[in-house]
A and B are shown apart, each in its own frame.
Chain A
Amino acid sequence: MLSEYDHVIQRLEGLAHDRGLVFDPVVFRLTDSDEIAEVASMGLPNRFIHWYFGGAYKELVTQQNKDVFTILELVLNTAPSHAFLRNANTYLQNVLVIAHVFGHADFFANNHWYRKSNKNMLNATEQHARLIRAYEGQYGGERIGQLLDALLTVATSVNAFERSPQERRKRLIYYLEERAPLEEFERVLLEAIREEAEYFDLIQRTHLINEGWATFVEAELLTRLLTVREWASLSVQLCNRPAPYTIGYTLFKHVRDRDGFARALEIRRFYEDVSLIDVVLTDELVQRLDIFVYDPKEKRKSYDLQKVKEMLITQKLYKGEPRIEVDSASEGRDLLLAHVDEDRKLEPKRVGLFLKSVYALWRNPIKLRANGKVYTYDRRGLSST
């Protein structure tokens, strides 16, 4: 029963306000692991249904059933915020989750990048889902399914931070939105998928700072609410969190200890992952967090601050994916793509499948410079020179 948490929700909310946190109302909901896996795999509870989310859902349910991995909490960047508490959690675990959720809610309401985000995303995704169902009726499920596959494939090229039209045009999805010879309904779907992808891109690019801040707030609030013994038992769990939680938490704790709580509030307001890493990470923290650049061929670890920073920042900028740009020589029907980091090889099998997806939207020959050659995809299929 959610009502058993009413009191603790009020207490934690009061403590959060006392610490200077400000946020939109949070709607808590007690639910089962299955629904949490469903929302986590789709990203939002009412998003359109797609096989790709089905694979992720299957994986999550399997992992939860095997106790390999459990999602303790889930919270949405909407106004009001919606938070899901797992009914299989212990009371104390859910108290921890509630404190953590207030940290996220504060981040959503105050962080510079989140303030500009679409807080009405639940309505937007509902509309998109209905539109897709209507188009499936009108144009056939298979055609819409293939279009969605292609759109989701190119959607990883979004950048929620990029505002410069010139820079955006280097990213495939924006280029296609502007110039691909699409029918009206296809363009509408491209915009819908792009909008959703930007919503998730923001979450990815602020994963470390957002989770770090929420964990930091959770600790700040719980030390004031729990007995020493309760807090000690939870602290053990805190140390076993995934990397973004522990790295982000350590960075915020370091800021508070060195520069005070007000400075921590300021960082949560103006920074995102890259600036947080760049400004706050030190030699000592790299050692303490035991993060390093690993060379699998040499089996060697490097704790060099500069190397670790560069690697972290590259990871955040390009989400660990190959950086593909639209070449400025692209003109008219010629779409030229280039793998910017050409020294690193791309998985050859995927090149053909990827270009096939792009071709489904561009409908004219495409060239990709990668792996020391030029791949061409046209109506005859894939070739390379």
Chain B
Amino acid sequence: MKIHRGRIAQYKHDQLLRDYLKQNLNDLIQQKELIIDGKVKTQIATLDLPTLKFGEETQFLAQGGGAGGGGTGGGGDPVQALGGLLGGDHHGKELTVELDFDEFVKLAQEVLIDELRLPAFHEPTRSGEMETEDPSELDDLDRIGIRADLNLEETMTQSLLRNARERGLLDYDVDVQQDAWYFVEDPATFQNHRSVEVYVLDISGSMRGEYLALVRKTIFVLWHYLERRYPTNLRRYVVFQDVAEEKSRDEFFRVESSGGTHISTGFQKAVELLAGATEYDKFLFMFTDGETSSGDFDLAKKAYEDALGAFDLVTYGHVNPGGRGIGGFSEFVQETVRTRPGAAFANLVDLDTIRSAMRDFLTFFDTRTTAPAPR
């Protein structure tokens, strides 16, 4: 049998990469654009051998543009440096390492769970749930599914329509990414362990650096617990400043911060997204510094009340990296949660406060094991 040296070497490399990422998680997680093209990109010097390199750009040998003659390299000619190309070996090469976002999250969770010494998750008994050995009924269609459940008829129809639209040809040229439809369980009948989670993020001017790190760490830890409890869940993402917008996951993790803060819009959008949702548990996680714009306070109060009525649990994260006092709208929410079930407040200052927020969060499940599930 052939020893696959390349793959063994790659395994060793990836082990080191994991160690590096763990050590540098805090810097990586603060990158404004955490996801680019579905990947987390990192420039990692230590995965190269620590050979010496020049630290500044000076003159170099290059080729390209085809301009010929002297003069400037204007006009947008592509200039290709010849340095590495003349060598022929890999020594001294910087490797840009790309990680799938899911892989990155898993690594981050390993570090955080370890650092935070988080409470173990006791799988609660699922009162109100149906346990069945029968195979599930795939009686609905969705654009997302598993290959084995591909609905050929619908997929072919979509392919035909797309080809007619794009190329003017009645051709079955299937592109699975664009055309596929899958058989899935109808969410109305599938309530066993499904949740809808809405993540709402304040992206007004102050959202950067440590602020982002705290939010993302909290979300990754939440996912760690929620994924165990709800193997099938639906996540939706909202960002807001003066207005609120739904975003894809990737967009949510590469936010541009700007504008003022209208917390009301965030809550309103989250409630809007629940329209038609039949999921068993509905969670809203709001992350903000609480400094809502003047004139928005009363609107925000009302929107918060509406959210409490619509969701099973509304967790309000007051992102507070400097550890200052709690004021503004956050103060109102902190007061409210004392008397309201289904409301939680977390003052996110550092890892310790994330830990206590998680404790509070997990009590939600403990109460669910004793009380009948809300419908």
Interface pair A38/B89, CB less than 8 Å apart: no
Given contacts A301-B70, A301-B72, contact A55 B47 (CB under 8 A): yes
Residues of A within 8 Å of B85, CB to CB, are: 242-244
Q: Determine which of B58, B87, B95, B98 lies in contact with A207 in the assembled complex, contact meaning CB atoms within 8 Å.
A: B87
Please tell me the size bucket of the interface on A.
35 or more
A208 vs B82: C-alpha distance when bound (angstroms):
12
CB under 8 Å from chain B, chain A span 316-340:
316, 319-322, 324, 339
A203 vs B88: C-alpha distance when bound (angstroms):
7
Chain A nearest CB from B151 CB (Å) reads: 29
A45 vs B3: C-alpha distance when bound (angstroms):
10
Q: Which of A203, A296, A339 is packed against the most chain B CB atoms within 10 Å?
A: A296
Interface pair B16/A51, CB less than 8 Å apart: yes
A299 vs B57: C-alpha distance when bound (angstroms):
12
Residues of A within 8 Å of B87, CB to CB, are: 204, 207, 319-320
Interface pair A296/B57, CB less than 8 Å apart: yes
B372, CB-defined interface residue at 8 Å: no
Interface pair A207/B5, CB less than 8 Å apart: no
A28, CB-defined interface residue at 8 Å: no
Q: Nearest residue in B to A154 (C-beta to C-beta)?
A: B51
Interface pair B63/A149, CB less than 8 Å apart: no
A57 vs B6: C-alpha distance when bound (angstroms):
6
Interface pair B53/A41, CB less than 8 Å apart: no
Residues of A within 8 Å of B46, CB to CB, are: 353
A287, CB-defined interface residue at 8 Å: yes
Interface pair A50/B9, CB less than 8 Å apart: yes
A312 vs B9: C-alpha distance when bound (angstroms):
33
Residues of B within 8 Å of A243, CB to CB, are: 63, 80, 82, 85-86
A57 vs B74: C-alpha distance when bound (angstroms):
37
Chain A nearest CB from B375 CB (Å) reads: 49
Interface pair B13/A54, CB less than 8 Å apart: yes
Chain A nearest CB from B41 CB (Å) reads: 13
A347, CB-defined interface residue at 8 Å: yes
Q: Nearest residue in A to B83 (C-beta to C-beta)?
A: A320
Residues of B within 8 Å of A291, CB to CB, are: 61-63, 82
Chain A nearest CB from B259 CB (Å) reads: 36
Chain A nearest CB from B88 CB (Å) reads: 4
Given contacts A153-B49, A290-B63, A294-B62, contact A53 B83 (CB under 8 A): no
Q: Which of A37, A203, A208, A320 is packed against the most chain B CB atoms within 10 Å?
A: A320
A354 vs B88: C-alpha distance when bound (angstroms):
22
Residues of B within 8 Å of A62, CB to CB, are: 98
A293, CB-defined interface residue at 8 Å: yes
A318 vs B54: C-alpha distance when bound (angstroms):
12
Q: Determine which of A47, A200, A299, A316 lies in contact with B89 in the assembled complex, contact meaning CB atoms within 8 Å.
A: A200
Chain A nearest CB from B20 CB (Å) reads: 11
B54-68: CB near A (< 8 Å → 1, else 0) gives: 111111111111111
CB under 8 Å from chain B, chain A span 189-210:
200, 203-204, 207-208
Residues of A within 8 Å of B88, CB to CB, are: 203-204, 207, 244
A199-242: CB near B (< 8 Å → 1, else 0) gives: 01001100110000000000000000000000000000000001
Interface pair A54/B9, CB less than 8 Å apart: yes
Given contacts A156-B51, A291-B61, A356-B50, contact A43 B12 (CB under 8 A): no
A319 vs B87: C-alpha distance when bound (angstroms):
6
Given contacts A152-B49, A320-B87, contact A287 B69 (CB under 8 A): yes
Interface pair B5/A49, CB less than 8 Å apart: yes
CB under 8 Å from chain B, chain A span 278-305:
287, 289-303
Given contacts A57-B9, A153-B51, A299-B74, contact A41 B14 (CB under 8 A): no
B92, CB-defined interface residue at 8 Å: yes
Interface pair A292/B62, CB less than 8 Å apart: yes
A287 vs B73: C-alpha distance when bound (angstroms):
14
Interface pair A311/B54, CB less than 8 Å apart: no
Interface pair B52/A312, CB less than 8 Å apart: no
A296 vs B13: C-alpha distance when bound (angstroms):
34
Residues of B within 8 Å of A43, CB to CB, are: 89
Given contacts A294-B60, A311-B61, contact A301 B71 (CB under 8 A): yes
Interface pair B6/A53, CB less than 8 Å apart: yes
A366, CB-defined interface residue at 8 Å: no
Interface pair B64/A49, CB less than 8 Å apart: no
Interface pair A47/B5, CB less than 8 Å apart: yes
A52, CB-defined interface residue at 8 Å: yes
A328-368: CB near B (< 8 Å → 1, else 0) gives: 00000000000100001111111101101100000000000
Interface residues of B (CB under 8 A from A): 4-16, 45-74, 79-93, 95, 98
Give me the 7 closest cross-chain CB pairs, A-B, nearest first: A54-B9, A353-B50, A54-B13, A38-B6, A347-B55, A54-B10, A51-B12
* CB<8 Å pairs between A and B, sample of 20: A37-B6, A54-B14, A57-B10, A57-B13, A156-B91, A207-B87, A244-B85, A290-B64, A291-B63, A291-B82, A297-B57, A298-B72, A301-B65, A303-B68, A308-B61, A312-B86, A319-B87, A320-B84, A321-B51, A321-B91
| Further pairs besides A57-B10, A346-B52: 5, Cβ < 8 Å | A57-B13, A203-B88, A207-B87, A287-B69, A291-B82
